[in-house]
Amino acid sequence: MDFITIFNQIVILFLLILTGYAARKMGVFDDQTTTGACSFLVRVALPALIVSSMMVPFSADLLSACEEMLLISVVFYAISLVVAWYLPRLLGSSDEERGIYGFLLMFSNTAFMGFPVIDAIFGKDALFYTAIFNLPFNLLVFSVGILMLTRHRSGVDARFNPLILMNPGIIAVFVGFIFFLLSVRLPVPVEGAIAAVGSLTTPLSMIVIGAMLARIAPSEIFAGWRIYVVTAARLLLLPLIVWAVLSPFISDPYLLGVPVIMAAMPAAANAAILAEEYEADTRLASQGVFISTLFCTLTIPCIAVLVA
């Protein structure tokens, strides 16, 4: 296992966040620019990344592997949902905080950090399993995740609106899956453009999070005891639960290792991006992403010992 590679990926995240922080402090970003960048990420870049990642040739073997890993992924997210539902309530959080904490607990940074960390621990053969495992993330983050972030609203906004499911992220999942089943190949310039737009997601997400953090006084970034409990659950409790549930039934190192390592990732950058887009507590979401990314430097190597 290449710990230097893992550490380097985390450092890249921090440098991108610091870039956004510095840009905001220098006046490059303001509130309007930050909000516009978030909308671009949610409505354009993220859907492009989803479609691009699912455009792979269809085969029976791939479909069989999809079925097994997708079943494991469903179990993974069921466990995450239980923890995300009960832990914030045990902490005595407000309704809005429960939505943010639940999102931080249920969704981890499986894209930017997950793939390179899996590569460092298991090698490139495990990356296909990682891509399949990540498919439900795209569907859930734009449905359950958005409902979590908006659940605190009162009045009409508190009622479930089916139209919330007709968002670019979920549409991209269905389009991408159809492309996979039919082995659709778009013209090379079109595929290249989609991939290029999708590749903006990671750096722009981190930069925007840095710009959001610049709104917060430095003393507040590390304030609040609940965020540390949630971070500990995100980085240690969840991967240990996933390992305990799956290990008695699964011996394949990829089918066991990929879910456990994915559970050990820090909170997804989508937490801050979607919180901004749907007018939730952006400060708390950005704080959760930052702190969990900070501490994962220590926790990921420890969890890797279980499965590597």
Please state, in angstroms and rounded to a whole number, the distance separating the CA atoms of residues 300 and 108. 13
The pLDDT score that the predictor gives to residue 80 is 93
- Residue pair 180/56 in contact by the 8 Å Cβ criterion: yes
The pLDDT score that the predictor gives to residue 153 is 62
Please state, as a whole number, how many other Cβ atoms lie within 10 Å of the Cβ of residue 89: 11
For residue 65, the Cα-to-chain-centroid distance in whole angstroms is 22
The pLDDT score that the predictor gives to residue 155 is 46
Please state, in angstroms and rounded to a whole number, the distance separating the CA atoms of residues 217 and 206. 19
Q: For residue 95, what is the domain's CATH number?
A: 1.20.1530.20
CA distances from 84 to 236, 277, 280 (A): 14, 21, 17
Q: Is 225 helix (H, G, I), strand (E, B) or coil?
A: coil
Q: In which domain, by residue range, is 82 found? A: 3-307
Quote the number of domains for the chain.
1
Alpha helices by DSSP H, listed for the chain, are: 3-25, 31-40, 46-53, 60-90, 95-106, 115-122, 127-133, 135-141, 144-150, 168-182, 188-198, 201-213, 218-221, 226-232, 238-246, 253-263, 270-277, 282-307
The pLDDT score that the predictor gives to residue 174 is 83
Sequential pLDDT tens for the chain (308 residues): 556 767 777 778 778 888 998 999 899 988 888 888 888 887 888 888 878 877 877 777 777 777 888 899 999 999 999 999 999 999 998 888 898 999 999 999 886 677 767 877 777 677 777 877 887 887 888 888 888 888 766 544 444 556 656 778 778 878 888 888 888 888 999 999 998 998 888 788 888 878 877 877 777 788 889 999 999 999 999 999 999 999 898 888 888 988 999 999 989 888 888 888 887 888 899 899 889 888 887 888 888 878 86
CA distances from 304 to 57, 239, 243 (A): 31, 10, 11
